[in-house]
Structure 1
Amino acid sequence: MRTMLKLALLASAAWSAAVTVAAAQDQAPTAEAPAGVEELVVTARRREETLKDVPVAVSAYSAETLERQGANDITTLSQTTPNITVQTARGSNSTLISYIRGIGQQDPLWGFEPGVGLYVDDVYIYRPQGAVLDVFDVQRIEVLRGPQGTLYGRNTIGGAIKYVTNRLGDEAGGKIKGTYGSYNQRDLLVQGQTPVGGGLSIGGAYALYKRDGYGKNLTTGAEHYDKDVQAVRLSAEYKPSDALFFRLAYDKVQDDSNPRHGHRELPALTGGYKVLDVYDTQAGLGDDNSVETEGLSLTGEYHANERLTLKSITAGRKGHTDTVIDFDGTPVNTLDIPATYDDRSFSQELQAVYSDDTVQGVFGLYYMNSQASGEFDTIAGNVLPAFGGVAIADGGKVNTQSFAAFFDVSASFTDRFKVSLGARATRDHKRANVFRLTYLGATRTPYQGGTPRAPFATNTNYSAEKTFEQFTPRLSASYELTDDLNTYVSYSKGYKSGGWDMRGDKSLTPQTDQGYDPETVNAYEVGLKGYAFERRLSFASALFLSKYKDQQVTTQVAVPAGIASSVDNAGRSTLYGAEFEAQAKFNSHVSGTVALGYIHAKYDQFNRFVPAGAPNPLNPSQTIPAGGQVVNVADLYGFQNTPEWTGNASLTWRGDVAGGELTITPMVSYRDSYQQFELPLPLLDQKAFTLLDLTASWAPEGGRFKLSVTGKNLTDERYRTGGYNFGVPTYNNSVIGFYGPPRTYAASLEVKF
């Protein structure tokens, strides 16, 4: 009853704007009335529109807004956007994990695909490694909630995050920004652009991010939770006429930060190791880590006439990762994981964007050819101790060819009533090679540069090939109640293709070579958005219901012979909730924002394959018989990375101080309790927490330079962003957690030229 009351209040807060807007419109503007809120133009539907006119739940953040929020990278979206999780993966510094409305993908291993599409200037970022994008050279970031397959190239079953960089334009300019902060933070950003004549402009940006660790590796003495990242973006724009535009862009990220080994949540059975500070570790595997990603893209636009624009987006990307994660967090080799990842992709997208007074739409063709591969060792000194332990090599690759055709068209039947129809036809052809080999001796296998030796056992070795096809429609209708108020209803279907478990062990899970099926979602949404009080208030609200089928869930359990992995199409689930966002300008000095999200996520059916010898989840005193067994654990499991409530509020004060403009923004954000995995784990699951941030900046008249100070997590909250659970004697009670940043301060000086 209490939850339903909160939901009713949330919905009524949004819809009450419809009652007040009429009175606001009847009021004549006065000389004292402040200017309205910023009207942000977005390209969520591949064409320029105001947020009010988009019949989709969209959150948009301009570069100025991101600066006021103190956004260092895109994980800040978790604080500011309703019902989403965007965070760094467990044990990583720059691998992205993202969820929108309960739909995403926690497992960053090769072969798995994210449920939330990440795009940089319309180029799909195929792999999550190196995808925790630092915020620089950005024009805006858009977050689209709900399936968006009729608009975007790939993998938007949960939604899409669009990172839009600045265009160069035809004026020379640039800036230099230096930052110093807590834990010896030293950041440098150099950015510039210039026209060179004949419609050609060139530009680039270089960013360097360095910081000592929040903690220490007490075994090796190295920094833990440090940062050592370099990023480069170069671009050239050519506009020979008003009808033609070309952009060639290159980007590269090099992350040499030390690996994160996590914090022991339980003392070790051997040696009594337990680190008290959550940012410290006693891991003994080492501190070598390197992530390198780079991409090249060519975008061409031809404005055939005032109604039709043709667009081509050609892109190639590749990445390489060498990393280590010490799962047991001790100097002994109980559960050590050295790993290598490689990926490459080529994509080609063609678009035709049409717009007249009655019809607007996009038609597109998309092709992607990609390969993701890798290998990791599981070094387990306590498995077969009579033989000196074991090392298990898991490796392989997945090749994907994806073809898709899509369209999304809106037609105006009256001045106020519009209907949008979209559809997508997708064909994914995949080929996989998977192996799992067990070697005697708790040292690295030959795949990770260890001593050459023959495998003791071949657990898995197969090749497989499948084609997945799906048709996903979208339908929406919108009606403008007034010039400033728009309401809409929509239905859309989302899809993500199937594949194979790259960790699968055929000796424990014989069906692993059959792979897993695609997952789909049917999403329904009703929304109201617009302006009130002479456009001093803008708001957007949505109620949604999603019926999720065949959800892909990765499960790893400890068994006597090692670690058994399975990827199950869990069954069915129902998700529903509400979202409300508003921006207000109270007077010429004070403005504010608020965002609130609620989601109820529950499994209706969760069929999980449990291997032979493992405890029965419904009756732990029993073990699963030979051959394994499928068990429905829906009542025991819940959604991961999906807090029931999320909220954010900020106030901004602007005023003239000492011959310049001073801007001060306090911001508070709230995340309800949430699970790290589908199975509740009290040792790892995160309780509700609140973060308090503050930013302030001062710029003299003319704006040539700016001084800024930022305080993040001012109450010094300790909160987990991930974890691993292997809390059994074989793996030395290995339950480890990974934590978000502590309280930090930073000061910046920016100079424009």
Structure 2
Amino acid sequence: MKRIFGLLLLAGTALASTDAFAQLEEITVTAQRREQQLQKVPLAVSAYTATDLAQLQIRQTVDLIRVVPNLVGNNNVGLGGSATYYLRGVGNTESFPTQDVPVGTYVDDVFLSRQNGNNMNLFDVERIEVLRGPQGTLFGRNTTGGAINVIMRKPADHFGGYAEASIGRFNQYELRASVDAPLDPKVLTKVSAYRVGSDGWAKQKSTGADLNGQDSYGVRGDVRFLPSERLTVDLSAFYAYQDMGNILNRIDPVTGDRTVYSGVTKGYLARFGYAGAKANNDLTDLTKLTAVTLNVNYDLGPVAINSITGYRKTEQNYLIDSTFAPPNPIAYGGSPSLDEGLMEQYSQEFKLTGKALNDRLTWVGGLFFLRERNVTDLGTGTGSATTFTVTGDRTIRNTLNTEAAYAQGDYKLTDQLTATVGLRFTHEEKKLDVRRDASNIGPDVNTAGIIAAGIPVNLHANFITPRFALTYQLDPDVMFYASSTRGAKSGGWNGRALANNAFLAFKPERVWSEEVGMRADLFNKRLRLNVTGFYAYTQDEQISAAYIVNGTRFFTVTNPADLRNYGGEFELTWLATDNLKVNANLGVQHARYTSISADVATQQRNCNTAIGANNATNIAAECNRGFVDAKGRIARPVRAPDVSFSGSVTYDARFEQLTVSPTVGLTYNNGYGIGNAGNPDLLDGSWTGTQVLWDASVAFQSDRLPNWSLTVECKNCFDRSYNVSFLSTTGIFLNTPGIWDVRLRYKF
């Protein structure tokens, strides 16, 4: 590694002397809730401009897992419109509204409370910032793992826009367009829209239907009012319809095709008496999103006042099944789940920024309020080739009220040394109400029964989350920093419970993270090298798995251990020549469970005793459950590979009238657990093994048609298949197959 780094530096030195004019683009970010140059921010931030997103083929937010170091994720099991993210080993796979996400997604500074619908089709994005590690002070709501901040492009002050269309594998097509149309210099408007469709890449064996396709569209309108030089008002409204399936499929041993073995179809389960419209859901994940954002900024000179108002409604209907048994289809499915959900949130933030003490102090502070209401009408069952049993039909309502106050200041101790101190106080209240549906089928679960089982239906929490940092600016292009940050994530309930005493409440998780880092633009800003080292300790990590509680096995969320993780990230961007650009991102980490709970320790002892006695019954009862693996060991934390790497090379070949720009990208990791009881030497599918994926594209631009461009591209070009999610040995999800397309773009 040292030798490679040394060669890069030598090459950069030589090239800097011959190509002195081309430099890397400076990127402005708002990772500290105010505009700063990326290289001046004492945080682990990966930022991607619109150009980067296009070159790296990032079309949905889940595509970020291919480029951000120590970010692992995928579509959630069965739900194509929802993505699960793990940053530095902290995350979860649950899309149920009674459990919060630890890697928060933000759009234009508005926090999205739910994982449901967070896998957005991207269009007209200005940039995306991924903040690694807890962001408990400025992005406080539940961001124990990190934050994904999507910043949409604002209306321009001149007429213009773009339109693009593509066709590709599985009859996939994409249409995207945006038009800026200012009404006058003080009223700027923009309308953007997209449409994405495909036949699907998995065939249902019993019907021959193509599944896991997409039928999605969205439209967004923006208005920017500029009544004075000091006042800016941004109003946006967004609607999206996302039909994005991710039904369990495996590679058929005979045909080699992606195949769905569930025999469940639209309306198939209505005959069993489920209440509500959910019984007629199709075998897919359908999400409707409505969002309105109002951002008012008033610059008073020494102080700027910012009001951010956000409203979001998510309607999600799905029917999924997560069991397969080749070669024959299962007529009634293995474990179908059907849902009709409504999630509404309203947030209000007041933010102030300013400078004081002869500009030596830069500060930001504010108040944050969030109100959330969720209604989940959920039906579950178990099936086989000949029978079906209803296991639940209930409606769960949960609400959240949270308030927070925060402040952070950066004070220049000297011209080179800056101290940062931040603090956030958060108060939260959650309520749960459960009722069996009017069908009166399945267990009689209800709020009174939950209370009778000794489980609280009201949860309260107070969090204090500080941040401390020191930044040393060695020279204008090299900065070092050290920081310590606290993050916290709310507790909740096991919303998928099938009995009153299984709606167990779990505690909040809290994390301290220490970082040291370097940010450097070297060789006349031709080589950008960002290095970060971290040590994080998560207390009471929320882990979703099968546990034995009071003698009964539940699939639930508990706080059975702490998580310790340390490692680093290395991000390099190198403009090797005016025509050649190299990106390389390396993540290393060492994640392990510590402070194992007494219940899990007892289970592990019982498992090892059963293994020693070769007692098959007790082995089945005690081993390969929770995070005790099949050999009686504590498993590795999920989705935390020791080594992950992504890199890309782009070359602009310039001919007399034509520029040809090929890009080749590589994504690699050395494997990680996807089952809570997974370890590297197990062969049950709970460990992924080494993953290697290649992406490529070639863009063409003619001098005679400067507004037009043509791109041919592929993701997962060699169509490699890997396990990405594990429910059981008969419920293992695969990654998306290889996709190619041809894209034509016109800019005006």
Alignment TM class, shorter chain as reference: 0.7 to 0.9
Aligned ranges 1:336-735 → 2 under 5 Å: 336-355=336-355, 357-381=359-383, 389-435=389-435, 452-453=439-440, 457-458=444-445, 461-462=449-450, 464-506=457-499, 510=501, 512=502, 515-556=505-546, 564-607=554-597, 617-619=607-609, 621=615, 633=628, 635-680=633-678, 682-701=684-703, 703-725=706-728, 735=730
Aligned to 2:454: none
- The alignment's C-alpha RMSD in Å is 3.2
Task: State TM-score, norm by structure 1.
Answer: 0.87
C-alpha contact (below 8 Å) 2:541/2:561 kept by paired residues: yes
* Residues 137 and 433 of structure 1: CA distance in aligned 2, closer, same or farther (over 3 Å): same
| In structure 2, C-alpha distance between the alignment counterparts of 1:17 and 1:112, rounded to whole Å | 48
Aligned to 1:311: 306
Aligned ranges 1:737-752 → 2 under 5 Å: 737-752=732-747
| In structure 1, C-alpha distance between the alignment counterparts of 2:602 and 2:444, rounded to whole Å | 18
* Comparing 273-282 and 368-377, the one that deviates more: 273-282
* Residues 379 and 611 of structure 1: CA distance in aligned 2, closer, same or farther (over 3 Å): farther
Corresponding letter in the other structure for 1:263? N
* Comparing 740-749 and 562-571, the one that deviates more: 562-571
C-alpha contact (below 8 Å) 1:433/1:462 kept by paired residues: no
| Structure 2 residue matching 1:241: 3-state secondary structure | coil
Aligned to 1:263: 249
In the TM superposition, residue 261 of structure 1 has moved relative to its aligned partner by 2.7
C-alpha contact (below 8 Å) 1:263/1:275 kept by paired residues: no
Corresponding letter in the other structure for 1:291? T
In the TM superposition, residue 338 of structure 1 has moved relative to its aligned partner by 1.5
* Comparing 148-157 and 412-421, the one that deviates more: 148-157
Aligned to 2:289: 293
* Residues 198 and 649 of structure 1: CA distance in aligned 2, closer, same or farther (over 3 Å): closer
Q: Does 1:302 align with 2:292?
A: no
| Structure 1 residue matching 2:134: 3-state secondary structure | coil
In the TM superposition, residue 185 of structure 1 has moved relative to its aligned partner by 1.1
Corresponding letter in the other structure for 1:419? A
In the TM superposition, residue 325 of structure 1 has moved relative to its aligned partner by 1.2
Q: Does 1:126 align with 2:128?
A: no
Corresponding letter in the other structure for 2:247? H
Corresponding letter in the other structure for 1:549? Q
Match of 1:82 among 69, 72, 77: 69
| Structure 2 residue matching 1:77: 3-state secondary structure | helix
| Structure 2 residue matching 1:488: 3-state secondary structure | strand
In the TM superposition, residue 623 of structure 1 has moved relative to its aligned partner by 5.2
* Comparing 69-78 and 489-498, the one that deviates more: 69-78
| In structure 1, C-alpha distance between the alignment counterparts of 2:49 and 2:599, rounded to whole Å | 46
| Structure 1 residue matching 2:176: 3-state secondary structure | strand
Corresponding letter in the other structure for 1:281? V
| In structure 2, C-alpha distance between the alignment counterparts of 1:417 and 1:612, rounded to whole Å | 51
In the TM superposition, residue 661 of structure 1 has moved relative to its aligned partner by 2.8
Aligned to 1:230: 217
| Structure 2 residue matching 1:196: 3-state secondary structure | coil
In the TM superposition, residue 352 of structure 1 has moved relative to its aligned partner by 0.4
Task: State TM-score, norm by structure 2.
Answer: 0.87
In the TM superposition, residue 625 of structure 1 has moved relative to its aligned partner by 14
| In structure 1, C-alpha distance between the alignment counterparts of 2:606 and 2:390, rounded to whole Å | 26
In the TM superposition, residue 614 of structure 1 has moved relative to its aligned partner by 13
| Structure 2 residue matching 1:52: 3-state secondary structure | helix
Aligned to 1:5: none
C-alpha contact (below 8 Å) 2:81/2:243 kept by paired residues: no
In the TM superposition, residue 30 of structure 1 has moved relative to its aligned partner by 4.9
Corresponding letter in the other structure for 2:646? N
| In structure 2, C-alpha distance between the alignment counterparts of 1:707 and 1:264, rounded to whole Å | 34
C-alpha contact (below 8 Å) 1:613/1:624 kept by paired residues: no
Q: Does 1:192 align with 2:179?
A: yes
C-alpha contact (below 8 Å) 2:444/2:499 kept by paired residues: no
C-alpha contact (below 8 Å) 1:284/1:326 kept by paired residues: no
Match of 2:198 among 211, 225, 228: 211
| In structure 2, C-alpha distance between the alignment counterparts of 1:18 and 1:212, rounded to whole Å | 45
| In structure 1, C-alpha distance between the alignment counterparts of 2:215 and 2:206, rounded to whole Å | 21
C-alpha contact (below 8 Å) 1:384/1:390 kept by paired residues: no
| In structure 1, C-alpha distance between the alignment counterparts of 2:65 and 2:740, rounded to whole Å | 20
| In structure 2, C-alpha distance between the alignment counterparts of 1:615 and 1:331, rounded to whole Å | 40
C-alpha contact (below 8 Å) 1:63/1:138 kept by paired residues: yes
Task: Provide Cα deviations, 1:407-464, integer angstroms capped at 9, x if missing partner.
Answer: 12111111111111111111111111235x6xxxxxxxx66xxxx4465655874361
| In structure 2, C-alpha distance between the alignment counterparts of 1:352 and 1:615, rounded to whole Å | 55
In the TM superposition, residue 513 of structure 1 has moved relative to its aligned partner by 5.2
C-alpha contact (below 8 Å) 1:608/1:632 kept by paired residues: no
Match of 1:73 among 60, 73, 76: 60
Task: Provide Cα deviations, 1:193-220, integer angstroms capped at 9, x if missing partner.
Answer: 1111261111111100011211211112
Aligned to 1:331: 331
In the TM superposition, residue 700 of structure 1 has moved relative to its aligned partner by 2.7
| In structure 2, C-alpha distance between the alignment counterparts of 1:41 and 1:396, rounded to whole Å | 43
C-alpha contact (below 8 Å) 2:297/2:306 kept by paired residues: yes
Aligned residues: 701
Q: Does 1:152 align with 2:139?
A: yes
| In structure 2, C-alpha distance between the alignment counterparts of 1:655 and 1:614, rounded to whole Å | 60
| In structure 1, C-alpha distance between the alignment counterparts of 2:430 and 2:96, rounded to whole Å | 16
| Structure 2 residue matching 1:489: 3-state secondary structure | strand
* Residues 60 and 456 of structure 1: CA distance in aligned 2, closer, same or farther (over 3 Å): closer
| Structure 1 residue matching 2:595: 3-state secondary structure | strand
C-alpha contact (below 8 Å) 2:685/2:723 kept by paired residues: no
* Comparing 32-41 and 239-248, the one that deviates more: 32-41
C-alpha contact (below 8 Å) 1:180/1:186 kept by paired residues: yes
| In structure 1, C-alpha distance between the alignment counterparts of 2:4 and 2:347, rounded to whole Å | 43
Corresponding letter in the other structure for 2:149? K
* Residues 29 and 75 of structure 1: CA distance in aligned 2, closer, same or farther (over 3 Å): closer
Task: Provide Cα deviations, 1:270-324, integer angstroms capped at 9, x if missing partner.
Answer: xxx988646211212225142111111101000111x321101101111111111
* Residues 475 and 153 of structure 1: CA distance in aligned 2, closer, same or farther (over 3 Å): closer
| In structure 2, C-alpha distance between the alignment counterparts of 1:148 and 1:371, rounded to whole Å | 24
* Residues 304 and 703 of structure 1: CA distance in aligned 2, closer, same or farther (over 3 Å): farther
| In structure 2, C-alpha distance between the alignment counterparts of 1:13 and 1:424, rounded to whole Å | 42
C-alpha contact (below 8 Å) 1:421/1:475 kept by paired residues: yes
* Residues 571 and 491 of structure 1: CA distance in aligned 2, closer, same or farther (over 3 Å): same
In the TM superposition, residue 581 of structure 1 has moved relative to its aligned partner by 0.3
C-alpha contact (below 8 Å) 1:607/1:631 kept by paired residues: no
C-alpha contact (below 8 Å) 1:408/1:422 kept by paired residues: yes
| Structure 2 residue matching 1:346: 3-state secondary structure | strand
| Structure 2 residue matching 1:340: 3-state secondary structure | strand
Question: Percent of aligned pairs with the same residue?
Answer: 26
Gaps of 5+ in 1: 1-8, 266-272, 438-445, 728-734
| In structure 1, C-alpha distance between the alignment counterparts of 2:304 and 2:409, rounded to whole Å | 14
* Residues 398 and 13 of structure 1: CA distance in aligned 2, closer, same or farther (over 3 Å): farther
| In structure 1, C-alpha distance between the alignment counterparts of 2:308 and 2:652, rounded to whole Å | 41
| Structure 1 residue matching 2:685: 3-state secondary structure | coil
| In structure 2, C-alpha distance between the alignment counterparts of 1:632 and 1:677, rounded to whole Å | 8
* Residues 32 and 454 of structure 1: CA distance in aligned 2, closer, same or farther (over 3 Å): closer
| Structure 2 residue matching 1:47: 3-state secondary structure | coil
| Structure 2 residue matching 1:493: 3-state secondary structure | strand
Task: Provide Cα deviations, 1:100-125, integer angstroms capped at 9, x if missing partner.
Answer: 10111211112111001100110111
Corresponding letter in the other structure for 2:486? K
